[in-house]
A and B are shown apart, each in its own frame.
Chain A
């Protein structure tokens, strides 16, 4: 494929306009899932087609793009998506969180606080936080419209009754600006506090044809109970490479005896700290 055979950032302008309208509606109604006519992309559904379409609709030639998967810039799918936009949009790319204007992510929020000049685009597999409680889309849309979230609270309560805590470790549901319950995509719940950000956060679900948004400085509350407050837990270790105690850690098995070490999942954060220390 040659980049020049396609429009800037792959999608045609009508499609981008359609997506931008959905984004604007999403920004106007924070946390509300806006249906949009998702297109087939040249990568499979499940590989981030929603995020790719949102990124394509946001990019301008002056942008500097960062793509991460599991917090890392060098995971295969992050490499593949970054290459896609290098080829089809010719935009500059970076691995530095602070230098990026648009960041597309799967499963993580960068550790470094984002700024008003940045857009964070999430790849979303199942946008509906109520889906595993109610399989019908007709029903869940009705529940959102009526702000009927009893089912979710019952589920969280049952977790506590059974396990002594809320047994959801990622894709932990949040309430946005006191109105819509939203799935923050499968980020670890450790990342949930970072959903209140100076940056614009956009969520794209390609296969499920939904876009939603958290505008800058929007109130985002992780669901909990007064006597069981939300706890953004992580492994109780410092990073074995940079020593960070405040970052989310991946567990890496290093030998046949099951020896393991914990390292930052955010590779740019980890590298930056090591550079500063050197």
Chain B
């Protein structure tokens, strides 16, 4: 006699217990601490903060630990936590021109005020596995240190703007729409697109950007400037009547300078793509700038060549990995009711098709 499968509740509890055990791994191996993750897996922490839209390295480290290193799962944990937080208000726009730069490079000018600062980059490392790292306890020698320069580090695009060579950016709305508080709708203006891109999946935004380089909506980008460093966050405190600094965040900012031969509405000039992402996340910031530029075809009067990266609906609806992974993975939930109805339909259609074939053969 058939007995319906019961015990979903116990199965769930037991699965969670097993998961916790697997997360810990072999208990004879020392447990990871959050400071270890925060300090030694900092780029993973940065990615989780960026895509989780929450600047908190300790919570991101916790999420990575809890998610067993699955970064999309960690992003999801951060998002689900973030949505429960009260909103006190909005900060002033951060001044990236006043950034304390760890890294600042320009691919368009050999030298420039503020200098080129390579910073802690993988760029010129040889990707050879360093077996010495496998042996623990060897702290690297201290890196040579220069005096911090007090000189300003102006934005590269400012030099081009002084000559009218780059398109001036129109003033955006004083208070941009907030993607996390309003449903996404179209046409999506640039602030909204940038919000979606900065929290979008790094792999997706990278591939979209790459597709533009390979000819699907090519926009000839130069990295005008890439800068990574800390900026102050200031907020108006109503009780005080003025803005105070409430903290610092590390950001990566990328401005691309793109060729533009002019269009029906715009004279020949350079245009820009913009990327701004939490933490040291330069692959993401550069990708974001390229995709941002591709999505601007309409306002610049360019042709829509039908490239995926030009299609705002395509890009914005599919950039979010928490949404994507949820919907993708939900197909492992039971679907036997809808499958049953399909099963009956296919059986019926087959019976009709077979019957027709037999009748034909008989005639």
Interface residues in chain A, defined as those with a beta carbon under 8 Å from any beta carbon in chain B: 6, 10, 12, 35-42, 44-47, 49, 69-72, 74-80, 83, 106-108, 125, 136-138, 163-165, 167, 169-171, 186-190, 207, 209-210, 233-235, 240-241, 248-252, 254, 261, 263, 265, 267
A-B pairs under 8 A by CB, number: 144
Decide: A248 near B80, CB < 8 A? Known: A79-B8, A167-B349, A234-B344. no
When distances are taken between beta carbons in the complex, the residues of chain A under 8 Å from B5 are 74
Decide: A72 near B333, CB < 8 A? Known: A207-B326, A251-B340. no
B337 x A76 contact (CB < 8 A): no
Return the contact of B86 from the options A12, A80, A167, A251 (Cβ within 8 A). A12
Smallest CB-CB A-B distances: 6 pairs: A46-B330, A45-B326, A169-B341, A44-B326, A35-B183, A170-B338
Closest CB-CB distance, A106 to chain B, in whole Å? 8
B341 x A69 contact (CB < 8 A): no
When distances are taken between beta carbons in the complex, the residues of chain B under 8 Å from A163 are 349, 352
Return the contact of B8 from the options A39, A49, A76, A108 (Cβ within 8 A). A76
Query: Which residues 1-35 of B have a CB within 8 angstroms of A?
Result: 2, 4-9, 11-12
B185 located at the interface, meaning its Cβ lies under 8 Å from any Cβ of chain A in the complex: yes
Closest CB-CB distance, A208 to chain B, in whole Å? 9
Other A-B pairs beyond A77-B334, A267-B4, 20, CB < 8 Å: A39-B83, A40-B76, A70-B336, A72-B4, A74-B4, A74-B7, A107-B335, A107-B338, A125-B330, A136-B313, A137-B313, A138-B313, A163-B349, A165-B349, A169-B345, A186-B338, A188-B337, A190-B341, A207-B327, A251-B340
Return the contact of B323 from the options A45, A69, A165 (Cβ within 8 A). A45
Return the contact of B334 from the options A10, A70, A190 (Cβ within 8 A). A70
| A137-B185 Cα distance, complex, nearest whole Å | 9
Contact string, B160-204, partner A, CB cutoff 8 A, digits 1/0? 000000000000000000001111111100000000000000000
Sample (5) of A-B pairs whose CB atoms are under 8 Å apart: A47-B326, A70-B335, A107-B338, A137-B313, A186-B337
| A39-B9 Cα distance, complex, nearest whole Å | 26
